[in-house]
A and B are shown apart, each in its own frame.
Chain A
Amino acid sequence: MVGVMAAVSRGKLASRINSIKQSGAADIGPKLDKLRRLRDELLAADSVLLVDFLSPILDLLSDRSGPVRKFMIHLVCKQPYLFLMLSLFAMVFVPNVLKTEPEIGAYKAAGFDRYVPVITPGRPKDRFLVGLVELACPGRVLQPCLYHGLCRISMHMMDMVVPSFSGNLMIGEIGLKHLELLPDIIPALIAALKDDTPAVARQAITCGVDIFRCSLAKVAIQGLYSSEFNESLKSSWECVLKFRDEIYSMAFKVGNDGRRLPALKFVESMVLLYTPDPNGSLEPPPDQVSEGKFEEFNVSWLRGGHPILNVRDLSAEASQNLGLLLDQLRFPSLKSHSYLVIIVLIKSLSTVARKRPAFYGRILPVLLGLDPSSSTSKGLHLAGVHHALRSAFESCLNCTHPGAAPPNNSSRIGMNSRNEWISAVVYLDSFVLQWRDRLVSALKEIKVGRPTEQATNEISENKGRAEWPGDPYVVQIHEQTQEEEEPPATIADSNVAYDDLNHARQATVHVSESVSPEDIPSAMETGYGAITSVVIDNDGVGNEIPGLALSTQDDALPEDATVSPRALAELEDANLTDLNDANQDTFTNLGRTPIELDKTQIELTQSLSTDRSEELSPKAAITDTNNMNSSTATSVGLSSQLVLPKISAPVICLADEQKDQLQQLAFVRILDAYKQVTIAGGSQVRFSILAHSGMEGHELTLRVLYRLFGEAEEDRDFFTSTTATSVYETFLRQVAETLRDSFPASDKSLSRLLGEVPYLPKSIFEMLESLCSPGSSDNDDREMHGGDRVTQGLSIVWSLILTRPPIRDACLKIALKSAVHHLEEVRMKAIRLVANKLYPLSSISEKIEDFAKEMLLSVVGDNQIELEKEADGIHAELRKDENPSSEKQPVSLAVKEISVGSHQNSASESIPSSMIAEVQRCMSLYFALCTKVVHTLTDGTVPSPDLLTTVKRLYDTKLKVLLIFPHLVNAPLDKFQVALSRVLQVTDACNACFEQRHIFSQQVLAKVLNQLVEQIPLPLLFMRTVLQAIGAFPSLGVKVYIVNRSGIHYGDPFPSRKQADMEISKAVGGIHEVRSFDKATVFQCSASDMDLYVYFFQQNPFFCEKLKLGYNKVLFEVNWHYSLPRSSIGSSHSVCDDSLKLSIQPPRPNLRYQLTAHARISESGGADDGRNSEPESD
């Protein structure tokens, strides 16, 4: 609706309508403009005015020009009064509309009869209209059966009064408002689907989407709040389902495109409706419930169960429909589609992938494998298809799904610390990178390949037309080559991560023992070929272990350093089409295979033989759609809980097929009997088998767990779900314990298991806790809890914190508890984890700090009051004695008080040594954090003597430090904060360092800066530190080369100015402007109209920074403020930091950059000569 217009004057409306009527039929455009204005005015007008103008308005309905009529119908439908009137008005032309007695009775009872006799053809319409408007006044409720009549009228109107299109629209409107009328309306809509005019059918489908959503929401809400359903709602819903089926059949039937396109959109919206929206609310919004609005719907509302709608069935249907949509893009159906259908399919699928990340892994392989060039029989617009694919890939790349998100924190941590805890992180990242690489390489292929293909096509199509004027693609080739600049950054990024990955992978391979490195290349050689054949040869129970191909490739990476991820991705792409074909064969084979095994086996086979490409899915639980009978079709509805990356097991292809088969059968039996096993007890052995059988076991265990979880969540009835929950817990606990007990501490199986299961019950947390904090429970086996076990527990906790944000707090608690453990060995391990690994995570650092402080304070906490009593004297003393070393007196006082009041251990009162141990226990974490902070400040440099002595003072004697700190904490808050903030003052610290020129020589600084620049993300105030350093040593050779993409990539420093120039002109295609200042040279380079590069060079030292501003900046003003405020350290933080932010902000398409001017280059003449050259600030 257009904004409120205060008062629409009568005269204005009259003149508007007149002018519309008078304008000739020829100039439609202006007439429509006037109509639009009229619409705005009418929508704002009150009912009194409407009454007056009704007649002329309705006259417009019989205007000679079609567009005007169409517009008026739209208008009338939007205005409730007008709508009603139009419906009744139609009766004039539609005799005998009110057929049944009740209808006529209601009509008469409503008093309509006075104004519009039931059968009155040919009466002057003015009179009716006036009367009808009176009738339609607010507050009058029409009888339902009168609405029936109105529906009929509308249906007749399709043929008689107005274009059928509009009548149809009207039916839709009525249906939306009165869902109970649907049994009458739906048949009309179904008939409309087959209407000769495609527009009518399209309109019917469009109405169908709305009607379907609303009735679904209504049924859902009704079922949630009462268990009884009235008959009318039930029958309405059944009608709607019928309608839905009709549309389905249209969507997947080759035929008229005009009807098919909206039908495909209908299927898309069905898939979305039937699957939970991860961003949607879990409960119906209150206004929907109370006011009966049914606009929104999220299937998650139904988690708790529903009398009619079964989440699992809905998910299954959505999954099946998605499968059908995907099949449309596979051979052979792909060939029969027209261009627009393919485009709509691609777009719909990418929409589904974007909105329902759980399907990401199913959709993407199909899109990646789509080869439109093979279906060019109909003169398909290849460029357009490629274009749509490109958009789809790009939107998938931007997907925020955890499995699809660009590698961020986790990988960075992994990169910085190659230690034993790496594997969990790397597993996740390897998954992420597979998708990213494949997408990026597919995008590159499209970008590079398209112009060539295009050119070839055009040449062949247009033989003899030598004078092709201005082929647009020739120009674009250049542009696109330029654009290529960006993806390599990502690739390079992934290369780094892959390097790390290789380390971890190798480690894993050794651990699992079943693999010798020699196996790997051969496994890779067999590659997809072998697997495909296995799949087709389907009489085995399922040799094809999911993820085999993938893991083979991953594992092969370390063996062949030259294989880049991109090459791999291409390899995968190349194979994908074959795979898809093979899969289709598989399905048909499966369908024909007689059921010769027991049910569970069949299920297993089916779930194992799902689409190979789909096995890359981040979601393990989605089983294949084409097997709807399979009960392993775990509820997609649970995907919000289940969106865990499906990590392919590093399975090694076993040479002996039979052995494999045997093993598989064994698993099937275990799986089959899992319930009996748990009930019958004595399951240890079997679980051990499961646990010992390595990665296939892992795969199976996960499947079992997901199945159980699905059962539990489905919540069919209290008993079943409780049973499933308890079985789940028992099973998981036993497997976890078996894994823990049977493998050495260095094994990662337990960590993986816990990282991938659907959820972690309390018992698992308890187990983890006892691992991390041995001795807390009585039945701990002392032997079992060697230091290695603690390490194992902590590493599991760490990986859980990284990979499972929802349980982060619980895990953190375990780690923190371990960090105050009474055994120093345990404590130190935990503190290392907390301080070095967890504390840098910004999301939890605060909690860690709080905990540390709390523990620290808890030592002295109870003394606060007493302390305060004596505060005056002490504080005075404290203020006098700034130097901590001179605080002996208060220290001893504090000790006394601690010993008196420690609530931690009241027994320690008499035993000072144990008291100190206790204090140490509580405080060591705090000091570790402090040290960490201090360490960050100095960051690998030789710390300044000042800091050194300070740190030394803190560190030398732990006890002393311990005693000083509580006192500091006890000191008045402001003083404490001053002390803390002094420690935290980065700039001051650096300053202090830089002043020590003999210690912080130029070489030292250069080394430090090189170290700093390696860090990701850049340390706080990094640029500032660089500037300070350059300020201190102008001849310092610092070279920073920043390429900006999704992060920062640091290239090699340019050895020489000349080379830098070459590099840059190569990168940006020419330097437009060079301007030299005393010590800096500024280049302005513009690669294309899209991008602006600004380079700054510090001649000697040579300092180069490249700023790339994003695409689509409609306007930008770049005033790169760059200052070297050597003499004014600390005065211009903000400016420098803003500039820095500017440079590392990734370009975001669709955002207009409005970077406003900061200032100017203030060249570092520095304090020496006091000269500041300010080049041209305006």
Chain B
Amino acid sequence: MSRQGGRGTESKKMNSELFTLTYGALVTQLCKDYENDEDVNKQLDKMGYNIGVRLIEDFLARSNVGRCHDFRETADVIAKIAFKMYLGITPSITNWSPGGDEFSLILENNPLVDFVELPDNHSTLIYSNLLCGVLRGALEMVQMAVDVKFVQDTLKGDSITEIRMKFIRRIEDNLPAGEE
């Protein structure tokens, strides 16, 4: 069965509520299935990684951006194009480290956490950890190993949500053994 997604440069949009509620259902189910928050965080990260690995292809197909020459360009593309395309928000980039290999994404409003509150017994849960996995997975597919983590989270009482991204190294393509 062929599917024409109507793909062009216009992407099909949808209401963020279904997405937010579905994500909430997913996190709730994970909390029920796993006993502790650490496991849920890990599982969210893994699922995010799987999503990121596929998302990058969709992104590159639709956005026509070329190869990024350095980490700063990558940061710009992530914040201004990717986030806008998928979540409809534009985070700001701040706090560059002196070496240029670490920066922070500041999200004023995170569609994943609309109308969400964390109860006391899940205070170590990183609710939006899926995002970290997505960023890590997507960048790994374009040969960048990064470390992504939440530094501030509105669900835990901070005023903004801050994600810290650190460039670790460029991933070299490994040829299969015997091929060189």
The answer on A and B forming one complex is: no
